[in-house]
Structure 1
Amino acid sequence: MKTPKRIQPLVEEGLVDEVLRQLMSGKEATVYVVRCENEIRCAKVYKEASQRSFKQAASYQEGRKVKNSRQARAMEKGTRYGRKMQEEVWQNAEVDALYKLAAAGVKVPKPYICFEGVLLMDLVTDADGNAAPRLNDVELSHTLALQYHAQLLQQVVLMLCAGVIHGDLSEFNILVDADGPVIIDLPQAIDAASNTEAAKMLDRDVTNLASYFGQFAPELNDTQYGKEIWKLYVAGELTPESKLTGHVAADTRPVNVGEVMKEIESAIFEEQERLRRMAEM
């Protein structure tokens, strides 16, 4: 097929030899199957911010590092330079997460390079060497649903032990290769230690898994793995070998109304600041 304009710089640099076909187009990127010498890989072409349906919410950007204070100020003000920096931070978040998670033993595609807004990485394949299907396209039995759910919980634990939370985990960004689930799409990944919404995002990721697999294995619908995993993490007791039960003992301590009101006021202030920044852009 004709080489897309965004991939042309990789061809000119000798990183890609041929674009074979488009694999998929999603809310944040278009993915192509490419040939790199004798290897078949994929090239993820990030869409411009104005074309993405998945917005760079402040909750995902919190805790992400930039190179210097000038970049931080530009991003805060929403200048053209600042928007360019936001794009770089957004794209680099996935690259950094992929390298970190691969090193931690998490099943993710192996990354090679991110060049001019194009991420080059391994093509995830099934047992026949074809592009692996998404989880939502795989027919599941009760037994297989439990098996895949357990494997993904283990991946979530490995990710958190590495300090990373996916932030948008669902059946639509999980592929299934010959050995089971592979987690993809990580530009919204957050740092568990520096993001104040980390607990909520982790619980949402895990709840999404329970809701999907619960269609095939209803016993998963009443589990609390997200809260259990986070409780172990906060206590410094979470390890890749942690045995999970899916249940958390109820907290019977009296509610601190003052602290609850502070949390509400803080949330209102953050939303007002977000709206103010948007109005200034």
Structure 2
Amino acid sequence: MRDSEYDRAGRGRRRRFDDDEPRHLKHLPKVSEPSDVDGPETGDRWSTWDLSQAGERGPQPYPDWVVTELAAVDTELGIVKTGKEADVFLVRRGVPDTDRQCLLAAKRYRSTEHRMFHRDVGYLEGRRVRESRTNRAMAKRTGFGREMIAGQWAAAEFAALYRLWEVGVQLGVRVVPYPVQILGTELLLEFLGTADGEAAPRLAQLRPDGAELTDLWHQAVEALVVLARCGLAHGDLSPYNILVDDGRLVLIDLPQVVDVVSNPHGARIVNRDVRNVATWFAARGLAGIDADELTRELLREAGIR
């Protein structure tokens, strides 16, 4: 039986997660574009840093590694990850003929017809805009409403990363990548990985035990506490959207972040996030995890219990 027939028969095992998880970059063919006499001599485009407004750039002070020079150019090096809502590309931003450069993860939300936002009703409760016409369109999922909903994901993720970074700095911990800037539906974030472009592994790819397992659990709890102090729940937390960068646990993929105070399902979503992560650690032999007690502690941190 051919593979296609086997798939149609429904007897093949389906992957639980349908986004790619490459450790090394996959290169896509370049799309030819009209020549631009004002474009850079090298790279794919001029740095977009100056195109983002003050509120669309990361928290100050900017880290030293962030390239803010207007002479910088952006060079796309390949795709890091594909997902339901967005694709993540590796971009090098640097000033030509100097050693001033950095690697960025460019998260680009897909066009409306290619987005596959799932279970968005529960996450969007508590997110409202001022115009009643827009709210009605979003509720009815009209074409305009779907476009407005999709536009909220990138903005919500950037705002959450910004807030979590600031609170993390106050507490002396890093729980998210630094959000460099947002431009439309493209987020430019700190790239987590090696200098040659190998992405940091997801927690799900690791097999820690002993002291390493315990340390990662403590870091996971620490990250959940930072979320709670911001009044937020990740909304879709699992070992597949947690990276471990040189021993440091970092949360990624936060477009479905939930305000646990204004969202009527907030407490339930917090508990689900906790259980998703706790189950993974318990399955690897970590004893003494009480998901319900941790949920109660997080809700107290958020000020709603």
Same fold (TM over 0.5): yes
Report deviation, 1:24. 1.2
Counterparts of 1:122 and 1:67 in 2: how far apart (Å)?
A: 32
Partner of 2:136: 73
2:81 corresponds to 1:24: yes
Shift of 1:29: 1.6
Q: Is the 8 A contact 2:104 2:189 kept in 1?
A: yes
Question: 3-state SS of the aligned residue for 1:36?
Answer: strand
Tell me what 1:227 maps to: 295
Q: Secondary structure at the match of 1:156?
A: helix
Contact 1:164 1:191 (8 Å CA) reproduced: yes
Cα distance in 1 between the residues matched to 2:142 and 2:46 = 31
Structure 1 residues 155-193: Cα deviation after superposition (integer angstroms, max 9, x where no partner): 101111111110111100000012411000000001111
Cα deviation, residue 65, structure 1: 3.0
Alpha carbons of structure 1 residues 140 and 234: separation in structure 2 relative to 1, 3 Å = closer
Aligned to 1:64: 127
Give the match's secondary structure for 2:79. Answer: strand
The worse-fitting range, judged by mean Cα deviation, of 116-125 and 225-234 is 225-234
Residue 92 of structure 1 pairs with residue 168 of structure 2? no
Q: Offset of 1:27 from its aligned partner?
A: 2.4
Alignment correspondent of 1:187: 255
1:214 match: 282
| 1:113 alignment counterpart | 181
Paired with 2:264 and 2:161, the residues of 1 have a C-alpha distance of 22
Taking a change above 3 Å as real, the CA distance of residues 127 and 114 of structure 1, as seen in their structure-2 partners, is: closer
Q: After TM superposition, give the deviation of residue 213 of structure 1 in Å.
A: 0.7
1:43 and 2:106 matched: yes
- Contact 1:66 1:89 survives alignment (8 Å): no
**Structure 2: how far apart are the matches of 1:222 and 1:163?**
21
TM-score, normalization by structure 2: 0.69
| Structure 1 unaligned blocks of 5 or more | 238-281
CA deviation profile, 1:219-244 (whole Å, cap 9, x unmatched): 1455434433245247668xxxxxxx
Change (3 A) 1:231 1:84: closer
Alpha-carbon deviations, 1:23-65, whole Å to 9, x = none?
1112222111111111111111113455444415211000013
Q: Contact 1:45–1:118 (CA<8 Å) still a contact in 2?
A: yes
Structure 2 Cα separation of the partners of residues 127 and 18 of structure 1: 15
Taking a change above 3 Å as real, the CA distance of residues 189 and 236 of structure 1, as seen in their structure-2 partners, is: closer
Q: CA RMSD in A?
A: 2.9
Give the C-alpha shift of residue 107 in structure 1.
1.3
In structure 1, give the amino acid aligned to 2:151.
E
Deviation at 1:128, TM superposition (A): 8.5
Larger mean Cα displacement after TM superposition, 67-76 or 158-167: 67-76
Aligned amino acid, residue 85 of structure 1: M
Q: When you count helix as a share of all residues, which structure comes out higher?
A: 1
Q: Which runs of 5+ in 2 are unaligned?
A: 1-26, 49-72, 95-100, 169-173
d(CA) in 1 for partners of 2:85, 2:138: 20
Counterpart residue number, 1:196: 264
CA contact (8 A) 2:112 2:147 kept: no
In structure 1, the residue corresponding to 2:127 is in which secondary structure? coil
What is residue 17 of structure 2 aligned with on the other side? Answer: none
Q: What is the distance in 1 between the residues matched to 2:279 and 2:204?
A: 12
Q: Structure 1 residues 18-27 or 164-173, which shifts more?
A: 18-27
**203, 210, 220: which one aligns with 1:142:** 210
- Percent identical pairs in the alignment equals 34
With over 3 angstroms needed to count, the CA separation of the structure-2 counterparts of 1:118 and 1:58, relative to structure 1, is: same
Partner-residue secondary structure (3-state), 1:207: helix
Once the two structures are superposed, residues 54-81 of structure 1 have per-residue CA deviations (whole angstroms, 9 ceiling, x without a partner) of 4152110000132433321221233322
Between 163-172 and 225-234, the greater mean CA deviation after superposition: 225-234
Distance 2:75 2:181 in 1: 16
Q: Structure 1 residues 207, 161: closer, same or farther in 2, change over 3 A?
A: same
Q: CA deviation at 1:91?
A: 1.7
Structure-1-length-normalised TM-score: 0.74
Kept in 2: contact 1:49–1:55 (CA 8 A): no
